[in-house]
Structure 1
Amino acid sequence: MGTLYIDRKGYQIKLDGEAIAFYLDGKREGIVPVRPLDRVIIAGNNTVDTSVLNKLAENGCNVIFLSGRGLQYRGILTGRIHNNGILRVKQYEKSLNKDFIITIAKEIILEKIEKQREFLGEAIKIRGSENLKATFCNVFGILINIAEGITAKCEAIESLRGYEGAASNAYFSAFTDLFPASLGFENRIRRPPTDPVNAMLSLSYTLIHYEAVREIQIAGLDPTIGFYHCFEYGRESLACDLIEPFRPVVDRFVWEMFKEGKYTSKNFVQENGGVYLKKDARKEFYPMYEAWAETVRKDIARKIRDISVRVMDGKNTLPE
């Protein structure tokens, strides 16, 4: 079980029996056995023999392609589609069932809001200034009221999206205050990220999203058919659904890296209107991400199993 990160341009990547061999300027740099791999992440410009891709697909290993310095998602290679077609048929049926959709969607957003509150509550104990406590107290009240509104009277996806948007605005007004002003993090900006915190959030969100895509495919579900996120051409809407409650978990991970001084603005470079993690800093990031993701992957897999059960049994709630 493992992840291989290939984040150096110019490699020629070839198959050597049951291993992947790496060549740079014609010189062999090393090998990695295929069997333990669950996922391979390739960033930047490298040459990969089709025999390598065939072997990875045969072994059920996903290959995710990212751009160079920006590490933006470009595509994913997967193996054969899961044989359980009935599960996907049931999933398509449930995606048209309004009662099922709103039940699942409300659970997703209520869990996300609860995790936002938990994280902010723990963070303020560490930061602890009186001004921050007053700000956070107000945000806690907003999040509680929104959660109560969702529980009591939200019966439509459109209304739920309004509640979720209001919760995110309140949450980020507090989250940004956790970081020093020198980092320039004032709000969430995705493409391109304009400061080190947004750069780290975008990278971490991208990686965790494709953790969910992989687990969805392993389970036999269709990652493009979601419940809270409606179908949109080219988007893995079910993966978007599943990672919503994990976004505050990612936020905590990113905050802790900056809080502990593992990253500063010196670890980032500004290029083409965006801010990106430098190559040396990425080498340090990947092992930290893998250690953190160990538990998150298990939680994602568990949630996908729960969804599969609910899709198949014809009920809107989990079995007792």
Structure 2
Amino acid sequence: MTSLYVDRRDVHLRYDAGAIVFYEHNLRSATVPLAPLTRLIVRGKVTLEAALLGHLGQRGVGVLFLSGRNGDPHLLLGPSHNDIQRRVTQTRMSLDSRFCQAYARHLVGEKLQQQITSLNELRQHYPAQRLPLTSAMHQLQTQQQRLPQAPNLDSLRGMEGAAAAAYFTGLRAIVPASLGFQERNRRPPRDPFNALLSLSYTIATAEIAMALHIAGYDPCIGYYHQISHSRQSLACDLLEPLRPLIDRLCLRMVAQQTLTAQHFSTAGPACLLGKAGRVRYYQAYEENARPLRRAISAQIKTLAQRLNPDMPEPATVLEAPTADKISDWDI
């Protein structure tokens, strides 16, 4: 078990003898050992004692709080890597415009290639939708060919945006019509598939930030996503080439009907995944998260080599030794 999801009202968490102890209505209801955990995701009316937070921090267990009706993310991180030189190098290179542009071009190029690969695979599984998927592929390839000529980061962002519009137009052809997906939208997402994408990107960004922190990098000092108040810019950077992998996970959930339109509801302009849907989502996410976590580790090693080729590769702790067992906890 590497992840623990706590999504329930009126639960109080305490620390006792190397374990998280759950109390409901002042009665002890469950116990989960701390040793296998690498991340804790909390949503709902949940309280945690300071002693528990202290032990989570000591063990390097990142805590993601999804607060409020929309599940706004807030991340707590434990101790970082002791080699401060990594952050010094990271910060210095963020001021080098040539490095920022070269690394950004690498990220966008890898993202577009992954999107093209995904669309090509989808053409084999959905022959009836081959035309819109092929059209989207061709538009992505056009933007991919233009990347070497991008003069600055704004130009890269424009190409990425055009590619994303074409990519999601292709996906629209295979997302079940019952989910009402027409285009990518967010803040808030307005249909079930966009809600699913946004939740998955949020959790993945938190996982990337945790892994960067453990490896000795500041998740907020980025290159493609420049420094901005309250934004984990470097985590956002590394998310870009991983988005197609996350998209495939979301497509799998709806294709296998792990989640259907009935698991979502609307509140004003926002579309929200309900409690029953979240239980199914957490399980499905964990069952399919290992390739994503391997990809996060690979991205961090690539970044480390670009920042300082002579520096030893950072260790990124994404899986505990007992990771073969996936948590099915939903407390």
Q: TM-score range by the shorter chain?
A: over 0.9
Q: Equivalent residue for 1:276?
A: 272
Q: Equivalent residue for 1:134?
A: 131
> How far 1:271 sits from its partner (Å)?
2.2
1:255-290 superposed Cα distances (whole Å, 9 cap, x missing partner): 111112222111112224322112122112112101
Q: Equivalent residue for 2:328?
A: none
Does structure 1 retain, via aligned residues, the 8 Å contact 2:259–2:280? no
C-alpha separation in 1, matches of 2:283 and 2:130 = 34
> How far 1:135 sits from its partner (Å)?
2.3
Does structure 2 retain, via aligned residues, the 8 Å contact 1:193–1:275? yes
Q: Equivalent residue for 1:144?
A: 141
Residue identity opposite 1:187 in structure 2? E
C-alpha separation in 1, matches of 2:251 and 2:162 = 22
Does structure 1 retain, via aligned residues, the 8 Å contact 2:242–2:295? no
Alignment RMSD:
1.6
Q: Equivalent residue for 2:102?
A: 103
Q: Equivalent residue for 1:93?
A: 92
C-alpha separation in 2, matches of 1:15 and 1:231 = 37
Which of residues 280, 283, 286 in structure 2 aligns to 1:287?
A: 283
> How far 1:120 sits from its partner (Å)?
1.1
> How far 1:81 sits from its partner (Å)?
3.1
Which of residues 303, 309, 313 in structure 1 aligns to 2:309?
A: 313
Residue identity opposite 2:142 in structure 1? N
TM-score (norm: length of structure 2): 0.90
Q: Equivalent residue for 2:6?
A: 6
C-alpha separation in 1, matches of 2:64 and 2:283 = 17
Instruction: Map 1:1-320 onto structure 2 (within 5 A).
Output: 2-73=2-73, 75-129=74-128, 132-151=129-148, 153-313=149-309
Query: Is the partner of 2:308 in helix, strand or coil?
Result: helix
Q: Which 5+ residue runs of structure 1 have no aligned equivalent? A: 316-320
C-alpha separation in 1, matches of 2:173 and 2:72 = 27
Q: Which 5+ residue runs of structure 2 have no aligned equivalent? A: 312-331
C-alpha separation in 2, matches of 1:292 and 1:22 = 27
Residue identity opposite 1:268 in structure 2? F
Range 275-284 or range 234-243, more displaced: 275-284
Does structure 1 retain, via aligned residues, the 8 Å contact 2:165–2:183? no
C-alpha separation in 2, matches of 1:118 and 1:313 = 29
C-alpha separation in 2, matches of 1:121 and 1:32 = 43
> How far 1:306 sits from its partner (Å)?
2.0
C-alpha separation in 2, matches of 1:108 and 1:157 = 12
Higher relative contact order (CA 8 A, sep 6+): 2
C-alpha separation in 2, matches of 1:269 and 1:106 = 38
> How far 1:310 sits from its partner (Å)?
2.1
C-alpha separation in 1, matches of 2:298 and 2:283 = 23
Query: Is the partner of 1:32 in helix, strand or coil?
Result: strand
Residue identity opposite 1:156 in structure 2? N
1:166-224 superposed Cα distances (whole Å, 9 cap, x missing partner): 11111111111211322111111112221110111111110101110001001101111
C-alpha separation in 2, matches of 1:299 and 1:251 = 14
Q: Equivalent residue for 2:318?
A: none
Residue identity opposite 1:128 in structure 2? P
> How far 1:80 sits from its partner (Å)?
2.1
Does structure 1 retain, via aligned residues, the 8 Å contact 2:3–2:41? yes
Give the fraction of aligned pairs with identical amino acids, expressed as a percent.
Answer: 37
